[in-house]
Amino acid sequence: MPTKCYQVDELDQAAQALRQGQLVAFPTETVFGLGAIANNEEAVKSVYQAKGRPSDNPLIVHIAKAEDLFRFSGDLSSEVERGARRLVETFWPGPLTIIVPVRKGTFGPTVTGGLQTVGIRMPDHPLTLSLIQKTGFPLVGPSANLSGKPSPTCVQHVLHDFDGKIAGVVDADPTRIGVESTVVDITHPGQVYILRPGAITEKDLQKALPEIEVTDATRVIQSDSLEHPKAPGMKYRHYSPHQEVYALLPEELMKTLHSLTLDEKAKGAVIARDQVLSQCEGFAKTFSLGENVKTATHGLFAGLRAFDDDDQVQILYVEQLPDQAENRAYRNRLSKAASNKEGLPPRS
């Protein structure tokens, strides 16, 4: 049965499908999520099955009311709760997931990946907030793509991976931000750890919490965190199209592209900002990441998906950005997708 595209006036139908344990993809400001009602273990298991997602990769719970963060949290110290409330007041609804101790009996182990913590966020999208309210309980919502593939930023991406495999998708415009939410762990008094970079940066968080130390843990992840990940995207390779992906800084990218033979160029596509693309002679297939960091981050997943159905393209040459704070989210996603970890591709 084809996957139904629910229109704005059909959210009640989408909510009914979710209450019945079916899967419905929904839009957010970041990427599209694959929704299931979070208090139905069988429905949540079907999310893992549909995506081919490892069972120890925890899911993020999406809520429609900010106060629900504290309703579903376990005991928080007064210091941690003050910090959490300030984050909520500053950034919600928005692209920030907050990891808290989970209240016993609230969500099953399938949601939390067997951990004693849970990631919760309030998305900044009116259709999804309405959908959650109509469903009557929060939704899990990992990115609505096959596990390991680039996250979906439009309805067409969702249908490419799941048409006929899920009940429906809420129809909406392409997402505004284009990469998943920032994930922070606030379970340690006096400390906030960034477990996944996103649109909300370390600088943003430190400004909101001046008396608390904010640490970008993605740069110092310990082996135990990889074995028992608290947040999606920490342990497994992600965001990879079927082609080889080579992430190269602009100067190195241009040097590599200019050295390719005509045959090698015919088998490749270039994904880069406009300044780089303007110097790419001989490439018929390119994807523009716009002019700056914001447009590049917004367009990255769409670029990685742009040649999904082109069997001729075997290698994607993608512009990497310098290691600077404002580039963290982009670099994190591209580095996880890359085949080369920023080295030069092998020559045939």
Structure tokens belonging to residue 107? 């969500």
217 and 185 Cβ atoms separated by less than 8 Å: yes
Measure the N-to-C terminal CA separation of the chain; round to a whole number of Å.
Answer: 44
Angle at 345 between CA 340 and CA 348, to 5 degrees: 140
Structure tokens belonging to residue 24? 């419905």
86 is in an annotated binding site: no
DSSP states of 97-138:
EEEEEBPTTTS-HHHHTT-SEEEEE--S-HHHHHHHHHHTS-
30 is in an annotated binding site: yes
239 is in an annotated binding site: yes
193 is in an annotated binding site: no
Q: What's the CA gap between 286 and 288, in Å, rounded?
A: 7
CA-wise closest residue to 87 among 63, 66, 103: 66
How many angstroms separate the Cα of 294 from the Cα of each of 80, 114, 321? 31, 35, 12
Omega of the bond leading into 58 within 30 degrees of 0 (cis): no
97 is in an annotated binding site: no
82 and 190 Cβ atoms separated by less than 8 Å: no
196 is in an annotated binding site: yes
The rounded Cα 246 to chain-centroid distance in angstroms is 20
57 is in an annotated binding site: yes
Q: What's the CA gap between 300 and 180, in Å, rounded?
A: 12
Strand pairing class (191-196; 33-37): unpaired
151 is in an annotated binding site: yes
206 and 194 Cβ atoms separated by less than 8 Å: no
Residues 6 or more apart in contact with residue 17 via CB below 8 angstroms? 24, 167, 168
258 is in an annotated binding site: no
Annotated binding site: 30, 53, 57, 62, 117, 121, 143, 151, 181, 196, 239
Annotated binding site for L-threonine: 30, 62, 121, 181
Annotated binding site for ATP: 53, 57, 117, 143, 151, 196, 239
